[in-house]
Amino acid sequence: MKFGIFYEMQLPKPWGPTSELDIYQQSLEQVELADELGYDYIWEVEHHFLEEYSHSSAPEVFLAAASQRTRNIRLGHGIVLLPSPYNHPARIAERIATLDLVSNGRIDFGTGESSSEMELGGFGVDRETKKEQWEESLRCITGMFRDEPWEFHGKYIDFPRRNVIPKPVQKPHPPMWVACTQPSTVFSAAHDGLGALGFDFSGPEETGRRREEYYRIIREECAPIGDAVNAQFAIVSGFMCCPRDDEAVAKGVPGMRFFGYALSHYYAGGAHDPGNTDIMRAFQSVTQVAPTEAAGGCIGSPRTIRERLLAYEAAGVDQIIFVAQAGATKHEDIMSSLRLFARELLPEFKERDQDHQRRRQEWLATPAVTTTS
């Protein structure tokens, strides 16, 4: 398996005068360290207006900064919002290509629709047609990456004949992914030839079933939406690696609990008064902040995390993406967690990943499937 680090730029209240400055600067320090330690990916979200849950509204700027502080780690949009009221497809194509140039070909292009009413309503995106808008925009962007010039006349996008420049370094284009919160989206990703970014925190058994069906569809039914198939299956997981399980639980679980609570607030209809809601205060009123019970995900000692990762490795997962920066988790704890995992566990899984990638490419090497790595 490969390993990534996931960033929402979570910022629970209370806020100080430098809170947003601190979270961005600390995150860049973490990314620089992750590159030095040999992690494979960072992923940065795009969200709008989701106070406390995500202060990451311009991921391309953060990724550009990260590109100049790193040398090897891949830089992933996790995700760009594609319905055109959020981002015009020509502007997305320009930004992705520019990021690919300044990073020397290290960009992965994750895509999605969003389902939060705060975002949809803020940009006037129609919930009933947002998936259609996502697909049309992605087809348009693929053409913009490739053709000189390009024009597109669809249901939602009417783009005149223009040469969209610059073009990306990676050919035919950076690997493309889609956010998957439901099993049906995983299988749609396979049909479209897109990498699956699993955001539903399923356990190894269910993840294995979905991964098996994903690769079956890739092999037998894939009709790529882009010019190459990105056959990769990734999932997110909570993360905190400490010498002892109880220490990891104390440092990592409160942040992941806030992550889930704030996510539910925005995506399951929580009342929100822009500028005035205090999600952290509401969270603290319904849950304990210092849990003592065992944790799930990759929160624990190296031994505990290794056992959980072996189950996902056996399920065939291509990448685990760690949610390290969650809630009010401390910067110094994230840094020490990244170091301990890299020292105790990363080399073992990296060594086996070489064989995994070789077998995967051999299995996918059919005339109907052209992959990106």
Residue 54, CB-side half-sphere exposure with 13 Å CA sphere: 27
Fold held by 2-272+293-364: TIM Barrel (3.20.20)
Nearest-CA neighbor of 310 among 358, 359, 345?
Answer: 345
Q: Any residues with CB less than 8 A from the CB of 212 and at least 6 apart, and which?
A: 316
d(CA 255, CA 268): 19
Per-residue pLDDT for the chain (373 aa), expressed as one digit of tens each? 999 999 999 999 999 999 999 999 999 999 999 999 999 999 999 999 999 999 999 999 999 999 999 999 999 999 999 999 999 999 999 999 999 999 999 999 999 999 999 999 999 999 999 999 999 999 999 999 999 999 999 999 999 999 999 999 999 999 999 999 889 999 999 999 999 999 878 889 999 999 999 999 999 999 999 999 999 999 999 999 999 999 999 999 999 999 999 999 999 877 889 999 999 999 998 875 455 444 579 999 999 999 999 999 999 999 999 999 999 999 999 999 999 999 999 999 999 998 888 888 887 776 555 456 5
Q: In terms of DSSP bridges, do strands 150-153 and 158-162 run parallel, antiparallel, or are they unpaired?
A: antiparallel
342, 232 Cβ separation under 8 angstroms: no
Estimate the crossing angle of helix 245-267 against helix 279-286, to 10 degrees: 120
Query: Judging by beta carbons within 10 Å of its beta carbon (0-12, 13-18, 19+), is residue 347 exposed, middle or buried?
Result: exposed
Q: What is the CA radius of gyration of the chain?
A: 20
Tell me the three-class secondary structure of 248-309, residue by residue: HHHHHHHHHHHHHHHHHHHHCCCCCCCCCCCHHHHHHHHCCCCCCCCCCCEEECHHHHHHHH
